[in-house]
Structure 1
Amino acid sequence: MAGERFELEPTVQALLRDVGVAPPVVLRRARLPADLFARRPIELSVDEYYRFWTALEVEAGDRSLAVDIGRAISVEMFSPPLFAALCSADLTAAARRVATYKALMGPLRMSAETDQGLTISFTWPTSVASAPPPLLAVVELVFWVALARIATREPVRPSFVTVVGRPTDLPRLEEYLGTRIRASGTYSITFGAMDAFRPFLTENEAMRRVFAPHLRRRLSDLGASATVAERVRAALRESLPAGDASIGAITSRLATSPRTLQRQLHQEGTTFQGVLTATREELARHYLDVEGLRTSEVAYLLGYGDTTSFYRAFRTWTGLTPETARRAVPMTESRTAPEPEPG
């Protein structure tokens, strides 16, 4: 892992400004290129990744920057991991979804275990000489509390939190988390069963705010004349970002059985797999038209377990790689991330 490079999300720049930290100053202290945030993709080695977060912690001074970051996270941020998490049914589903993608986002591994609740823990590469910057590790924990509160609109508090060492801003962190922090050899956060499976109110809200108008076709918006295939397509648009493309998930949304659904689709001259493939291709073309959205993130939002599977599927659909399609297809609209709707 020491030789790998990881992509820093472009939204980090906006997040830094939201918490009152000047990105140029952080980059200079971290000995990183001044134009780093203008590059696509923003790739860092493990050492550079650690230097960035260490510089950020130094610039924060005696502030509790992890808490400030947690409070700055919002549903309006178009961050694919956050978006997919908000689209999930509950905190447990979100953790399992993000865990499959976490290794692409930084030099760490995340696990989500359920045993009378939910425990999320992080491990860091042993091949790197230095330990992860404390701020980076603590922000990973704070993220899940912020997410749970945003998604449920409840003052969710973890039941157990462990960190390595003692954070300098311990009192403020404990106040934000609403629980004591215990010293341990690992970074982990545990939620009780009620909060682990509390329904996310953002399951459709995130879709409404982020998707472009021609993709914002929710099940509730379909008319009585909509075909079964159209209803399946609408359900898939809501399920894919949360990582569930199974026929069981779709039949649950449509209140029917897999056998009945397959029979109805057959009568319309198609199959569930056919609708799934067509929907993925449609969404892939849409996502590839979004400025700054990485190919790995597109694969993630389409419910693929890895980037290779998405590459293979996209070649089957178009005969091109995603990168080639991006360069070859003239964009008729501004290639920017979708603006959130007012209200």
Structure 2
Amino acid sequence: MTRNQAFPLDAGWRLILKDLGVQPARVLRRAGLPEDLLSRPGQSLATSDYLRFWQSLEDEAADPLFALRIVESITAESFDPPIFAALCSANLMQAVQRLAKYKQLVAPMSLEIAVAGNGDLSLTPRWLQAPSGVPGSLQAAEIAFFVRLARLATREPVSAIGVTLPVLPTAAHARPYENFFGVPVRQGPNPSVSFAAADALRPFLTLNEGMWRVFEPDLRRRLSELDATATTAERVRALLLELLPSNAASIEGVAARLGMSKRTLQRRLEEEGAPFRALVNGTRESLARHYLENTALSGGEIAFLLGFEDPNSFYRAFLDWTGQTPERLRHAQRLN
């Protein structure tokens, strides 16, 4: 699979910089980037430019704790594909698998996932094509994100059981880092964070409300909102809206969530004239059209949210469904 060679840079950064009290133009000027970059839709940066942007942000913020401040500003209201997919997951173990796929599809990064014999989960992010090193604040923010995600999704004060960074916080700031992670930060060759097995498998309770609200009404129905008159097909569609982003939209997974056997589910759908595969494809097409017409998400991000392995698979499927490419539909929508 061809890996994306650039980091997406969306308009959400303007809000982040505002919350930090930092002027976007100053950050971009310091990084040698166009000062209107954050006003342009669909922008991305090569690794060297992205790292320079982040270093500029670190320098402009002049706050040793600003990486933690960025992470703590993340909420379940954020309109962000990886957060949405993660919050649709069953637990942290499944969520990090989706986040690893997101990085593989959308950015020149990888996320190494290791599960110990006792079930403890360790995560190590890696930046590919990083010629001059990764700013320490970016490394800290990357691993702090997983702790923030676990707390948001479980509604529990989850702590890490181990944290390493190549460059330790200064003595004056070691305590705030320890308070955030729940353990002292140790020095190691790579940034990493580990979670106890019980926390890695702790059920996620949240869905991303900000992302759900941008859906049209017929793409917003959830299983818990259906009444006793709903058909099996309607129940399956409601589940697929949640399971597709988490890449768990198998007939076995849907049947388990509905409390019935796979065979019973197949039989009921056949009686209603709604085969499972047709429901999956129909839901994917409806979501794809919505994303293309109402958001600025890239093809790679849409492919990710629909549970495709790569953008090319999504493009081929969309062409089969509609007879046109995603780009043509988006272009036609803009003309209208």
Q: TM-score range by the shorter chain?
A: over 0.9
| CA shift digits 1:29-79 (9 cap, x unpaired) | 111101101222111111101100100111121340011112111111101
Whether 2:31 is the aligned partner of 1:30: answer: yes
| Equivalent AA in structure 1 for residue 63 of structure 2 | D
**Distance 1:49-1:61 versus aligned 2 partners, 3 A rule:** same
Cα RMSD after superposing both structures: 2.1
Native 8 Å contact 2:77 2:209 kept in 1: no
- The alignment-based identity, stated in percent, is 47
Q: Distance in 2 between matches of 1:76 and 1:96?
A: 22
SS of alignment partner, residue 100 of structure 1: helix
The structural deviation recorded for 1:105 is 4.0
- Structure 1 window deviating more from structure 2 (76-85 vs 224-233): it is 224-233
Match of 2:314 in 1: 310
Paired residues for 1:130-169 under 5 Å: 130-168=132-170, 169=173
Native 8 Å contact 2:4 2:105 kept in 1: no
| CA shift digits 1:87-107 (9 cap, x unpaired) | 111111110111011134433
The structural deviation recorded for 1:2 is 12
Match of 1:338 in 2: none
How many residues were matched structurally? 331
The structural deviation recorded for 1:175 is 1.9
Q: Distance in 2 between matches of 1:194 and 1:129?
A: 38
Q: Distance in 2 between matches of 1:247 and 1:103?
A: 26
The structural deviation recorded for 1:167 is 3.0
Match of 1:299 in 2: 303
Whether 2:238 is the aligned partner of 1:234: answer: yes
Q: Distance in 2 between matches of 1:2 and 1:311?
A: 16
Paired residues for 1:134-283 under 5 Å: 134-168=136-170, 169-203=173-207, 208-209=212-213, 211-283=215-287
- Structure 1 window deviating more from structure 2 (164-173 vs 38-47): it is 164-173
The structural deviation recorded for 1:205 is 5.3
Gaps of 5+ in 2: none
Q: Distance in 2 between matches of 1:86 and 1:132?
A: 27
Native 8 Å contact 1:9 1:79 kept in 2: no
SS of alignment partner, residue 202 of structure 2: coil
Q: Distance in 2 between matches of 1:210 and 1:232?
A: 21
Native 8 Å contact 2:160 2:183 kept in 1: yes
The structural deviation recorded for 1:16 is 1.8
**Distance 1:225-1:117 versus aligned 2 partners, 3 A rule:** same
| Equivalent AA in structure 2 for residue 166 of structure 1 | L
**Distance 1:94-1:72 versus aligned 2 partners, 3 A rule:** same
Normalised TM-score (structure 1)? 0.91
Gaps of 5+ in 1: 333-343
**Distance 1:105-1:9 versus aligned 2 partners, 3 A rule:** farther
Match of 2:75 in 1: 74
**Distance 1:13-1:104 versus aligned 2 partners, 3 A rule:** farther
The structural deviation recorded for 1:325 is 0.3
Whether 2:126 is the aligned partner of 1:123: answer: yes
Q: Distance in 2 between matches of 1:151 and 1:112?
A: 19
Native 8 Å contact 1:19 1:72 kept in 2: no
Normalised TM-score (structure 2)? 0.92
The structural deviation recorded for 1:203 is 3.8
Match of 2:49 in 1: 48
Q: Distance in 1 between matches of 2:174 and 2:38?
A: 31
The structural deviation recorded for 1:129 is 2.5
Q: Distance in 2 between matches of 1:176 and 1:88?
A: 23
